[in-house]
Homo-oligomer: A and B are copies of this chain.
């Protein structure tokens, strides 16, 4: 396939969701291929943050907990995420970080069973494995880490819980959620899904696929801003059986009764712990407004078109980089990754040209395909610049070997 700049422009012009791009601030001179790591700033967020700081905090002060509904924000924003992941509004809550939410859910869910092992995948996003190790140690469970190809076979009579990331952070490989939920159920166990690289770009049907537990990130495709609070999902039928180990006052049935004894709130609210960070929460709510009027299916269709163009152009112009993401849409997410021994330097050389993807150790460059605001011309230009960097060997410049604290 050959795909020209003119064809890329024509594809953008024909794209029915192209107008959504205007909802975001995209800096001049930047092609942003990292919306799967930190989503771009929605234009609505700037004004809303100003309002929450100056009017709600500044003017209404403590009264805003009631008057501006801060107290309902975790449930209200959870309900806005719910349709993006195929859940009911009362099944999702937003609070804390993905790591903290995962800990709560693993501990609460593991207590439903007396089986001895937590099972997860080697090379899973590492915070998931670390949090699972911490939870397992506290509960006296073993943590069984298996490579992806052996994982399904390891689900057995010893398995208390399985922790899986729906879309792999590096390769973008995607699990068949419905099939694995059935497999787990047949084995008498349950799965906790991490949707960090799915929510907001990849179709997820938690209810329809029989998923019972999930967590996910607010700052990637959901555009909630740096370190945005994360979400937590528990199927309605299980909510009353779970008690969070982080039994803080905001998850109490009556937080303002100030009683010594803990009584979990009904439903999903019991997974709140301390006071949530309101400024960051409200930024996530603004980010979610970027999804108004569009379905995940429509976004996924655009993502696939972006993927196909990206893949084809890379084969044509940058064959030095080996694609490690599967091509078939049903087994992958919304990013595309390539391996190269000098991935770090190539990534830095691209950033110097305004093309932002990210390096993932030891040898991967990852490009996020965010259907809300990425266009076909963006991809054409990014790969054109990458091809120059590779053919001219510009990544060999010593400046591109300098590492920051992050990556």
A98 closest partner in B (C-beta): B274
**Contact among B61, B98, B125 for A27, CB-based, below 8 A:** B61
Bound CA span A296–B405, Å: 34
**Contact among B32, B126, B248 for A130, CB-based, below 8 A:** B248
A137 closest partner in B (C-beta): B245
Q: Which of A219-227, A317-325, A328-336, A378-386 contacts B (4 or more CB under 8 A)?
A: A219-227
Are A129 and B260 in touch, CB under 8 angstroms?
yes
**What 1/0 flags go to A223-255 for Cβ under 8 Å of B?**
001111110000000000000111111101000
Are B246 and A277 in touch, CB under 8 angstroms?
no
Interface membership of A401, Cβ < 8 A:
no
Q: Which of A42-50, A78-86, A180-188, A392-400 contacts B (4 or more CB under 8 A)?
A: A42-50
Instruction: Note all chain B residues with C-beta closer than 8 A to A358.
Output: 62
**What 1/0 flags go to A13-37 for Cβ under 8 Å of B?**
0000000000001010010101001
Bound CA span A129–B28, Å: 52
**What 1/0 flags go to A35-78 for Cβ under 8 Å of B?**
00110110001100110011011110111111000111000000
A361 closest partner in B (C-beta): B258
Bound CA span A65–B97, Å: 17
**Contact among B45, B170, B252 for A53, CB-based, below 8 A:** B45
Are A247 and B139 in touch, CB under 8 angstroms?
no
Bound CA span A135–B137, Å: 13
Instruction: Note all chain B residues with C-beta closer than 8 A to A145.
Output: 260
Assess A37 versus B66: contact at CB under 8 Å? Given A256-B361, A274-B98. no
Are A61 and B127 in touch, CB under 8 angstroms?
no
Q: How large is the interface on A (under 10, 10 to 19, 20 to 34, 35 or more residues)?
A: 35 or more
Instruction: Note all chain B residues with C-beta closer than 8 A to A259.
Output: 126
**What 1/0 flags go to A201-232 for Cβ under 8 Å of B?**
00000000000000000010000011111100
Interface residues of A in 255-294 (CB under 8 A from B): 256-262, 273-281, 283
Are A273 and B100 in touch, CB under 8 angstroms?
yes
Interface membership of A310, Cβ < 8 A:
no
Bound CA span A404–B122, Å: 48
Instruction: Note all chain B residues with C-beta closer than 8 A to A252.
Output: 126-127, 130
Are A99 and B246 in touch, CB under 8 angstroms?
yes
Interface membership of A103, Cβ < 8 A:
yes
Bound CA span A38–B15, Å: 47
Bound CA span A405–B25, Å: 36
A244 closest partner in B (C-beta): B134
**Contact among B54, B230, B247, B356 for A62, CB-based, below 8 A:** B356
Instruction: Note all chain B residues with C-beta closer than 8 A to A219.
Output: 275
Are A226 and B262 in touch, CB under 8 angstroms?
no
List 30 contacting pairs A-B, 8 Å CB cutoff, sorted by A.
Answer: A25-B58, A30-B61, A34-B61, A34-B62, A37-B62, A38-B61, A40-B58, A41-B53, A41-B57, A50-B50, A53-B225, A56-B226, A63-B351, A65-B405, A70-B226, A96-B97, A97-B277, A98-B275, A100-B100, A103-B245, A126-B252, A126-B259, A126-B260, A130-B248, A131-B273, A134-B247, A227-B276, A227-B278, A257-B361, A277-B280
Q: A133-B262, A134-B262 are in contact. List 4 more A-B contacts (CB 8 A).
A: A41-B58, A97-B276, A127-B249, A127-B274
